[in-house]
Structure 1
Amino acid sequence: MLLPKVLGRVALAATADDTFVPCFIAPADRLALSIYPPPVNAQETGQSVFVSPDNLVTFAFAAPTDHNRDVYFSLRVHQSVTWGAVGLGSDDMPNSLILMLYHDDEGTGVTFSPRIAFGNYEPEYYSHMRWEVLDGTGIQGDYLVFNARCTDHCRTWLHGSLDVFDHDQKAIWAVGPDGSLRSDDMDAPLPMHRQFGGFGIDMGRTNKVNATSISADAKNIGTETRFHQQSHRDLKSRFHAIFMIMSVCVLLPAGILCLRAGQMVRWHGIIQSVALVFAIVGVSLGIVTSFLYQRSRGFNDKHQIIGLVVFGLFFGQFVLGILHHLQFKRTNKPTKLQTPHRWTGRIILFVGTFNAFLGFSFALNRQEGYFLAALVIAVCGFSLFFMFGQGFLRRRQQRHTNGPFYGGHPSGQEPWRHQGQAQPGGGNAGYQPGYGFAGHAAPAGYAPPGGPLSPGGYAAPPPYEGPPPAQGSGASIGLSTMSPASGRDRERDRKDGDGGDLGPVQTPRETL
């Protein structure tokens, strides 16, 4: 009889006043209410569900109190991103337990990776966590889904823990860049996140739930979004690549071209100095970037080792170039440092370019390696064209300027050595009369003294005539008698070029 009486009073009071307070109930009736608690509302207990603002990550959680270590959770990640994760125990990365999901190696299943974040860098694989995979795990439509019951190291872990009775437990979430990460390794290397945020979980309301699930139209239940940020790409890594590629693949070849093709020593030194500065900045950014990823924190990857060796060679080549230049200015002769300086530059150019391709693979960004390949091909093609093409044009210009129009001679010999047929009387038919040695036509109306005009407007030079033959000699062939040359004559012959006897000195014709 007591229970109906109490329930009637409660109903009457609730109907009369919405601000009903239990203190109006008699002491005996209060004892009855404590024995029979009110029914639990479905919105007050159950799993807690978090949905990211763009629905890329969904997370459901339950921590039943009838077990000391078990935790149930479901994680769903959209296939358009490389990876998705939820971190428990903190509103920041340090000391968080990271639950991560990405494609398996074949792309037909999922790989779950538990990790611990020891700082604001790539989390490390956590091998002590134990779990059981539940039904519903796999690829469902556009999502990767993982359902599990964690049996060990989910409520407590290294440097962190969960308060399963907390109604505002801190947590974080993040997704990787667009693309596909396929690996069966739980410690697979990761690209940096593109979005991240924080939220709070009401874990106290999940203490009576022994399973979790995520529906297609899941909404936030028992969770509250705290912040959401779009993360820029890893700018330090990007600028590291830009500075190093500019130094090795652009500036270094440009400095070589300045010296080999243009003999511009000053510009060669300036460009080489700028290339060294770019290399210093690029290596510094690379070292800073290395501390953000597990794969690079040990500085034991081949890309890092080769890069540091090339950087040391860069300094060595710069010192060799300065010493060579200083010695050359004193002696005006090539030095022994020229050869090692040149070969060190070649090693830097080829090994550094090869290491750049390794760097894109190391950064999990092979697609941008195609841009580097196109740049290398363009630089090599331009260098070859500039070096060999310039030589070809120079030789062609020399052949062109050796012609009669530019003052040269078709046979490549001096005009006075051109072979021709001798004319009767000692003249040389090979001589082409003209205005000067170049064979230009004389001005119209010009008549040299001592001869009539020829049809071309100028007169042929007079034929060579030797001295009259001596009395009593035989037939003359027009040659003068030979006499031993004096020392002064031999000196004059050497000044003329080859010492040949060109006959008596004749006065040049008068020109206009």
Structure 2
Amino acid sequence: MSIYSKRNVWCAIVLYFALVQVVIGETKYCLKEVDYCFTITLPQANETLVNFRLEAPSTAGWLGVGVGPGMDGYLMVVWITSEGKTLLSQRVGEEGVQPMATDQQADLNLTNSTIVGDKLIIEFTRPLKVKTNTIKNKQTFAYAYATINPESDDIVNVYLPRHDYRGNVKLDLEHGDSELQYDKLIIAHASLMSSVWFVLIPGAIFIARFARNLLPTTWFKLHVAIQLFLSTPIVLAGSVLSFVAAEGLKFDDPHRIIGFVLFLGFFIQLAIGAIHHHLYDPKRNGIPWWTKLHWWFGRSLVVLAAFQVPFGLKLFGVTDMVYYYIYYIYLFVILIAFSFLSFRLWNRRPDNEFKRMEDS
């Protein structure tokens, strides 16, 4: 065989494996907290079956993989009974309701179930497209891990104990990409928006309401600078990140609906503030309606934003209550500080009315 023939053979081999890699597109994701991993492999050419491989501690109760965001859609569940029987169930769930078995359990085919050391390995297949669900090349998958075993061999009527861990991950099956781009975008979005709505904007409100006598010549400049030069670019950046992560504007969840309302409300509040500043008269005898609107519309936006974090944590699949407790404690501290400082303003007025400090 000539050197050119050998080179052509090696080129053909490399090209073949490159094509196979593109077609198969194996992708793996692991939940580090409990060492639970699932691998999804697209079918080869002229085939229609998607391969799933689940790896978890042998002490796992039940394992779940869902096609789509959240555990309230299409779900595949596997568990092993005390007799060592491996059961695989296809289910469809709704928010807050036990997922029910579909009428097409034959869509799933168990191909392997073994325990190697302390590791449980489950392998099964399902078609790319089933009655209620289709797997796409770029797809959000949900996952769940439970420590309590259902202890039942009835795949239709079994009751699934509550999961201990759950979440969402967006995977690119075609290119084998599991770099968690979705998670990174959402975490960045949450960090930016939290800094705006629970640090910068409350800080600007506190300065405008309580710091007029303390900073008689700079409180207004600080209030405006925080909103224009810090809050505004961060709100825009955080909104773009969520738009990219969700692949468009969606209104299928309370968090996304409230987020859109807050986005519009933020810029409406800036416009109301500009009107208030333009029409401000230092010799006024009363408080005009546009000024009161600026006060209360801003406070309303912050109150509405307070509901965003629990909804966002739930949408992202966070089940660890520590994050919720930390957030509620922080809200409590902000509320106590606002109430205490407001009481001081009221107590310092001779007529005991809730009013701001005198304009300087």
Interval containing the TM-score (normalised by the shorter chain): 0.5 to 0.7
- Residues 1:297 and 1:340: Cα distance change in structure 2 (over 3 Å): closer
1:139-288 alignment, distance < 5 Å: 142-148=118-124, 153=127, 180=145, 190-192=167-169, 234-263=183-212, 264-273=219-228, 274-288=230-244
Tell me, what secondary structure is at the counterpart of 2:108? Answer: strand
Shift of 1:360: 1.0
CA drift of 1:281 comes to 2.0
2:304 counterpart of 1:351: yes
Structure with max Cα Rg: 1
Kept in 2, the 8 Å contact 1:102–1:110? The answer is no
Q: Structure 2: how far apart are the matches of 1:256 and 1:154?
A: 53
CA contact (8 A) 2:55 2:121 kept: no
TM-score (norm. length: structure 1): 0.40
How far apart in 2 are the matches of 1:194 and 1:279?
27
Query: Equivalent residue for 1:475?
Result: none
Per-residue CA deviation, residues 397-423 of structure 1 (Å, 9 max, x unaligned), is: xxxxxxxxxxxxxxxxxxxxxxxxxxx
| CA deviation after TM superposition for structure 1 residue 89, in Å | 3.5
Q: Distance in 2 between matches of 1:372 and 1:147?
A: 40
Q: Does 1:313 align with 2:265?
A: yes
Gaps of 5+ in 2: 1-25, 77-89, 91-103, 136-140, 148-158, 213-218, 350-360
Q: Which has the higher contact order (CA 8 A, sep 6+)?
A: 2
Q: Which residue number corresponds to residue 79 of structure 2?
A: none
Change (3 A) 1:347 1:181: farther
- In the other structure, the counterpart of 1:490 is none
Tell me the equivalent position of 1:377: 332
Kindly tell me: are residues 147 and 321 of structure 1, through their superposed partners in 2, closer, same or farther at Cα, counting changes over 3 Å? closer
Please tell me whether the aligned partners of residues 42 and 50 of structure 2 are also in contact (alpha carbons under 8 angstroms): yes
Paired position in structure 1 for 2:41: 87
User: How many pairs were matched up?
Assistant: 259
Q: For the structure 1 residues 239 and 140, does the alpha-carbon distance in structure 2 shift closer, same or farther, using more than 3 Å as the test?
A: same
RMSD of aligned alpha carbons: 5.1
Percent identical residues: 18
Task: Give the letter aligned to residue 307 of structure 2.
Answer: F
State whether residues 306 and 355 of structure 1, in contact with CA within 8 Å, keep that contact through their aligned partners in structure 2: yes
8 A Cα contact 1:303 1:359, kept in partner: yes
> Deviation of residue 372 (structure 1)?
2.7
Q: Relative to total residues, which structure has the larger helix share, 1 or 2? A: 2
Alignment of 1:113-128 (within 5 A): none
> Could you tell me the TM-score, scaled by structure 2's length?
0.54
Contact 1:87-1:99 within 8 A present in 2 as well? yes
Residue in structure 2 matched with residue 323 of structure 1 by the alignment: 275
Aligned residues of 1:102 and 1:144 also touching (Cα < 8 A): yes
Structure 2 CA distance for partners of 1:321 and 1:356, relative to 1, 3 Å: same
- Structure 2: distance between partners of 1:389 and 1:331: 26
The Cα of 1:270 is off from its aligned counterpart by 2.0
Gapped runs of 5+ residues in structure 1? 1-51, 58-76, 117-122, 161-174, 199-226, 396-512
Structure with more of its chain in strand, by fraction = 2
Correspondence 1:45-84 to 2 at 5 A: 80-84=34-38
For the 8 Å contact 1:130–1:153, the answer to whether it is kept is: yes
Q: CA deviation at 1:326?
A: 0.8
